Amino acid sequence: MSDKLTMLLDAPEKFRRLLVLSGAGISAESGVPTFRGGGTSTVWRGMPFEQLSSVEMVEKDLPLVWEWFDYRRGIVAGCEPNAAHLAIARAQISGRFDAFTLVTQNIDGLHRSAGSTDLIELHGNIDQARCLSCNYLLDVAEIPEDERPPVCPDCFDSMRPNVVLFGEALDDDALLQAYESAAVCDVCIVVGTSAVVYPANQIPVIAKREGAVIIEVNSDETELTAFADFSIRGKAADVLPTILGDEVN
Ligand code: BV8
């Protein structure tokens, strides 16, 4: 790690308000596949994931959308938070920061399992279903596995996964909260994201515009690398404990 970055991380007065933005790469070492690793995009049943996870697919083939999310939930069920998730959860309660915001693009729930609270799950949460008509929310675990698509217990319409799909807007409040935190943070750590998905990829742009230091943690170069003040090449589970002072982990 460069001396300049070490000095920053050791200078508490310059590192009091932290925003962490995470993407699929933070969960890679937990066993959750990423979407665009190695320059290829995830394909399932012959379809690219951007098509499977699109709002059009909900209208076109809701049962297939449930098969796709049931498949992914099966993978996530066997995964545990890794040292990166734990370091972020510990940093939040360390008392070291005047302001601490965690924004994740992930729907795998591993930050919550690691103990993070008040996090902003920009793209929703794989463990919930939402009614197409009345927005009734239900934990998928409460729905019989053969009830696909699930039936809303309130209005009896079909239910869909409670995630933000390509082609649909994010929750306004969640996005506004993320942007407001980005505008006031001193340091924005961007970990495990290819930074290609809009509008989440605007968070480091806002942070930098308002004077924050951008630290990227990624195993590869990304579209953000040239833009970041520091780009640490490495695995999230190795790097995050170091930069968040959680080596004990
Ligand atoms: C919207 C939930 C408007 C579902 C997800 C053309 C140009 C620009 C934008 C667009 C465009 N065409 C369409 C758009 C908009 C579109 C978009 O950005 N598309 C992209 C593909 C170009 N965005 C949207 O549609 C958004 N909505 O814009 O709405 C609107 C307004 C009003 C009315 C209607 C519409 C909605 C986007 C949300 C989509 N949902 N997830 C699901 O999961 O199935 S996004 C999905 O991608 C996941 O959430 C994922 O997290 C996210 C982002 O990907 P990453 O997290 O970055 O993951 P990736 O695999 O790409 O990268 C992993 C990285 O980790 C890599 O860099 C790798 O090197 C690194 N890594 C790997 N291992 C490690 C590691 N790093 C560290 N350690 C390791 N061990």
* Rg of the chain taking only CA atoms, in angstroms: 18
Which residue of 107, 197, 231 sits with most ligand 1 atoms within 8 Å of its CB, as the best mutation to test the pocket?
A: 197
Q: Give residue 6's pLDDT.
A: 80
What mean pLDDT is predicted for residues 24-51? 88
Task: Classify residue 223 as exposed, middle or buried by CB count within 10 Å of its CB (0-12, 13-18, 19+).
Answer: exposed
Q: Give residue 246's pLDDT.
A: 65
- At residue 36 the predicted structure's pLDDT band, cuts being 50, 70 and 90, is confident
Question: Residues in the chain, how many?
Answer: 249
Q: Give residue 15's pLDDT.
A: 86
Contact yes or no for 18/91 (Cβ under 8 A): yes
The Cα–Cα gap between 201 and 230 comes to: 17
123 catalytic per annotation: yes
Q: 87-125, pLDDT tens digit by residue?
A: 999 999 999 999 999 999 999 999 999 999 999 999 999
In the chain, alpha helices (H): 3-10, 49-52, 55-60, 62-77, 83-93, 110-113, 172-184, 203-209, 236-243
Supply the DSSP string of 48-94, one letter for each residue. EHHHHTBHHHHHH-HHHHHHHHHHHHHHHHT----HHHHHHHHHHHS
Strand partners, 191: 22, 217
Which residues have CB under 6 Å of ligand 1? 23-25, 28-29, 34-37, 50, 53, 105-107, 123, 163-169, 192-194, 196-199, 217-220, 222, 235-236
Q: Which of 123, 130, 160, 235 is catalytic?
A: 123
Q: 74-85, pLDDT tens digit by residue?
A: 999 999 999 999
